[in-house]
Structure 1
Amino acid sequence: MNGLHRGSPLLDEQVAAGLRGDFVRGQEIADELERTTPNCHRAGFNRAWYEMRKGKLLKGLELLDCGRWERAFGDQPLATNKPIYRNENLQGKHVLIRSEGGYGDEIINVRFAADFHQRGAKVSVACDNSLKSVFARVPGVSAVVGHRAAADVYHDFWVPGMSAARVLEYEYKNLTGEAYLNVDPLYRAKWSEFFAKSYDSQKRPRIGLRFYGNPQFEHEQHRRFPKEGLIQTLQGRPWINLQKEETDLRIESWEDTLAVIEQLDLVITSCTSVAHVSAALGKETWVLTPILPYYIWALPGDTSPWYKSVRLFRQEQFGDWTSAFKAVEKALQEKGLV
């Protein structure tokens, strides 16, 4: 790596500018670092977000790959002598997508299995064990294994999960936003029966709430919001707790989570893996994002090309979710839900 490192004053200033919503200053620093330290992986990784915000998805994805040199995705390279896919002919070939990052990242990027399948490949996906059965039903997926077995799966080419959109040369216009996850029929029957017995079938809407994600995530404190503020927006309406650690529902697997979400009318959540599962199911999903949101939500606006079913409610001031809660309340009133 050439130049800067984590803790560099300019990089720290850039992060601070982003956290307070000063994207003009953040962009200025990104431009300065591009001129002065063009080969710095950390600076490139940070600049990715600003390129995506400007509508340049592919450029942003190329820079996002710099994060791999900084161990931003938390995974070791795949132990293989086969090449990463670079637009070769895939007719009759085998492609292995090696998922990376957290649950949300794995869910975001498994959609691209369909692209490789459409190019003629048989597609295997290596993912967290808890997601194997869910990903087995994703269009284009032929086989699924856990991460530890990834290197043993036969493949002609492989793709790091966080690079899938880049190697496919995606721009925002190429994202359809269509649903790509579906519910297992056995779990659908289980939770359909549960809700029919436990909830008045005529008592709608069923609104699911999720307040925080993995506490081990580096920036969890920024995307987490006080649940009391969101609950108050419902003005006494009943709601269903999707917080696995707190709910009375016996949600024991991702299959349970998908099937429960299918029974709901609306999911309101922080930027967590549940947000991506809900959106990938095609469920109407409202996501409250911190002022400096994840790269998926970098493009300004209250909608996202990544998911047709998502509506974004953006924090306007660091540490203060009041405006986002008010926007949610207004949206609920417009839909006649409170």
Structure 2
Amino acid sequence: MTLAAVEERARSLLASGRGAEAEAIIAPLLADGTGPVSLWALLAQALRVQGRVLDAKPIQEMLVDALPGQYSARFDLSETLLLLGEFDRGWREYRFRYSLAHTAAIERKVQRPRWDGRPIPGQTLLIHDEQGYGDTFQFMRMVAWAKERSQANVVLEINHDMASIASRMKGFDAITLRGQLPPPFHTHCEMMSLPAAMRLQLADLPGTPMPYLSALPERRAVWRARLAPYAGLKVAFLWAGRPTHFNDANRSMSLAALAPLGQEGVTFFSIQKGPTEGDALSPPHGMEMVSLSPEIADFEDTAAILSEVDLLISIDSSPVHLAGALGVPVWVMLPMLPDWRWLLGREDSPWYPSARLFRQTEWGRWDQVIAQVAAALAERKSLA
């Protein structure tokens, strides 16, 4: 089999989560410790898919040491290090996230130095959001910390959809919207570069008084009245992420697959947005569900709903981070190889004290996770 054929076959296997089979065809070709970089990278991926992240790490480190200018390898290593909770080097390597072919176009070109974590009294520091909504909810916590550390005048630049919620947060002196011309500033920092600048360690988390976000009282009153007619345990619910997300096939599932969660005395309130939100109008048999999606106008509505229900059950999604930032109980259903921020082998999250994690133990096996969530839900209901 040619090298190209081996790589094509391995990628096909990895796409379907068959890491052991991919390893079986790659490893013999690398048995003498030499071989093409592309095969070593695929071997590391095959090990990660099997949950053997510690075994993948030295291979990724070898690739970075041999080819320091190969930024995709450095970014892959950063995700492994962060997943393992090795924040020192993890955050340093994470700076290469905008050096990839598919991300270079969205990097902000700021003609000012990046803040390095030192005090800069009397200067203005621009902190700007980046990437997805969940990322921003997660790292908004660090704005107040940066304000204290820098002793600067902090201007927070935020996307329009989150500006209202952000305006009630502490830790900045002025707020501006993405796309607008910010006031003059001396240094800047992307929100997700704050951990590197401030040398964030795992032990520092959650790193700010919790909760650090809040819902509008008047919106809460509206949604409290909307949910009042429903007795029993009230559970906000989300089962699919954004289809364009690179890892969506790995993190999302169908509503039908979640039928075992249905039980007497529990009402599910769908806050699903996007192509699958209409599925809530025909829920699985035995699952009492109310679709709130058409009534949700913005994140203020989502925050108010989350503040008025007993619990959010969701796949890895931006409302999970919003719930965590609000201090709302949230159960997160995670794939075997989760995003780096959820770490490995834990049922809790240092980022969000109100979160409980339910993890796959086999690639693609959501049924085991759903059974665990169903049992936990029955227990939670009995205590309500």
1:32 correspondence with 2:62? yes
Aligned residues of 1:129 and 1:145 also touching (Cα < 8 A) = no
Q: % of aligned pairs identical?
A: 25
Q: Is the 8 A contact 1:191 1:260 kept in 2?
A: yes
Q: CA deviation at 1:223?
A: 0.5
**Secondary structure of 2:68's aligned partner:** coil
Shift in Å, 1:206 = 0.7
Q: Deviations over 1:10-56 (max 9, x none)?
A: 33333333233232442242233234223421111111222223331
Alignment correspondent of 2:226? 194
CA contact (8 A) 1:74 1:101 kept: no
User: What TM-score do the two structures reach when normalised by structure 1?
Assistant: 0.89
- Specify the code of the residue in structure 2 equivalent to 1:271: D
Size of the alignment, in residue pairs?
327
1:52–1:80 distance in 2 versus 1, CA, 3 Å: closer
Are 1:64 and 2:94 matched, yes or no? yes
Counterpart Cα distance in 2 of 1:87 and 1:165:
9
Q: Which residue of 2 aligns with 1:239?
A: 268
Q: Which consecutive residues of structure 1, in runs of 5 or more, have no partner in the other structure?
A: 1-6
1:331 and 2:360 aligned: no
Classify 1:239/1:77 alpha carbon distance in 2 versus 1 (closer, same or farther; 3 Å). closer
Return the offset for 1:295. 1.4
Assess if the C-alpha contact under 8 Å between 1:207 and 1:240 holds in 2.
yes
- The aligned residue for residue 212 of structure 1 is 240
1:135 corresponds in structure 2 to: 166
Return structure 1 stretches of 4+ with deviation > 6 angstroms.
Answer: none
Q: Distance in 1 between matches of 2:46 and 2:170?
A: 40
Separation in structure 2 between the aligned mates of residue 274 and residue 229 of structure 1, nearest angstrom: 20
46-55 vs 75-84, which deviates more?
75-84
Please tell me whether Structure 1 or Structure 2 has the larger radius of gyration of its CA atoms.
2
1:52·1:299 contact (CA, 8 Å) conserved in 2? no
User: CA 1:107/1:118 → structure 2, altered by over 3 Å: closer, same or farther?
Assistant: same
1:175 counterpart = 2:205: yes
Q: Structure 1 stretch 162-171 or stretch 85-94: which is displaced more? A: 85-94
Structure 1 position 173, deviation (Å) = 0.7
Deviation, 1:64, is 1.3
After TM superposition, the structure 1 = structure 2 runs for residues 1-338 of structure 1, keeping only pairs within 5 Å, are 8-70=38-100, 76-119=106-149, 120-149=151-180, 152-176=182-206, 178-196=210-228, 199-200=229-230, 203-236=231-264, 237-245=266-274, 246=277, 247-249=291-293, 250-337=295-382
Structure 2 Cα separation of the partners of residues 74 and 242 of structure 1: 33
2: distance between equivalents of 1:71 and 1:175? 32
Give 3-state SS (helix, strand or coil) of 1:286's partner: strand
SS at match of 1:312: strand
The Cα of 1:132 is off from its aligned counterpart by 0.8
Q: What is the distance in 2 between the residues matched to 1:304 and 1:114?
A: 21
Q: Quick one: distance in 2 between partners of 1:303 and 1:184?
A: 28
Give the RMSD, CA atoms, in angstroms: 2.2
Specify the code of the residue in structure 1 equivalent to 2:213: L
User: After the TM superposition, which of the residue ranges 325-334 and 61-70 deviates more from structure 2?
Assistant: 325-334
Q: Is the 8 A contact 1:52 1:60 kept in 2?
A: yes
Counterparts in 2 of 1:318 and 1:309: CA distance versus 1, 3 Å: same
Q: Is the contact between residue 222 and residue 290 of structure 1 (CA under 8 Å) also seen in structure 2?
A: yes
Q: Deviations over 1:119-178 (max 9, x none)?
A: 3223222222111111111221333322212x5332221101221111111001111262
